[in-house]
Amino acid sequence: MEIKVKYAKNQESRLSKIEQGDWIDLHANEEVHLASGDYKLIELGLAMELPKGYEAHVVPRSSTYKQFGVIQANSMGVIDESYCGDNDFWKFPAIALRDTVIEKGDRICQFRIMEKMPELQMTEVESLGNENRGGFGSTGKK
């Protein structure tokens, strides 16, 4: 599958997928100084044309909070195939939970390409006809 990628003029790092992983790391394309509680859309320095019927899921790397003290503002970013213009550069919405500095080139998040949800038809019913399983967290602690 081919994906067209346009890099910002000042973006030095290029995308590469490691063999043992299903996610591709994304790098900050700017140096960012954040105080605890600050919010910033961090430039990632690239735009893509995703294949028709696909979307990208963007999430923090497992070490992002430990290394930088930031979390992603919207839990998971979803970029659909229509966000494909020359200036539709990807960004990472970060909230700092401590004072931090993110250097240009730091790997702060990752993405993968997923097929979009198929067309669905919702049917309203009076009963689903299944046994109730319980509420959130009802299966116990251990």
- 105 and 87 Cβ atoms separated by less than 8 Å: no
Q: Are 41 and 96 in contact (CB under 8 A)?
A: no
> How high is the pLDDT of residue 133?
79
Three-state secondary structure along the chain?
CCCEEEECCCCCCCCCCCCCCCCEEEECCCCEEECCCCEEEEECCEEEECCCCEEEEEEECCCHHHHHCEEECCCCEEEECCCCCCCCCCEEEEEECCCEEECCCCEEEEEEEEECCCCCCCCCCCCCCCCCCCCCCCCCCC
> Which pLDDT does position 62 carry in this prediction?
94
Would you say domain 22-115 falls under CATH 2.70.40.10? yes
Residues 56 and 50: their CA atoms lie apart, in Å, by 8
Confidence (pTM): 0.85
Amino acid at 61: R
The three-point CA angle 63-66-67 to 5° equals 80
Note the pLDDT of residue 55.
97
pLDDT value, residue 18:
73
- Choosing from 80, 88, 99, 106, which is the catalytic residue? 80
Q: State the pLDDT at residue 120.
A: 96
Give me the pLDDT at residue 21, please: 82
Residue 99 designated active-site: no
Q: What are the beta bridge partners of residue 55? A: 80, 114
What is the model's pLDDT at position 110?
97
Measuring CA to CA, which residue among 43, 15, 32 is closest to residue 68? 32
Instruction: Write down the domain spans for the chain.
Output: 22-115
Q: How many CA atoms lie within 13 A of 68 on its CB side?
A: 26
pLDDT tens per residue, the chain (142 residues)? 899 999 999 999 899 877 778 999 999 999 999 999 999 999 999 999 999 999 999 999 999 999 999 999 988 999 999 999 999 999 999 999 999 999 999 999 999 999 999 999 999 999 999 988 777 766 666 7
pLDDT at 29: 98
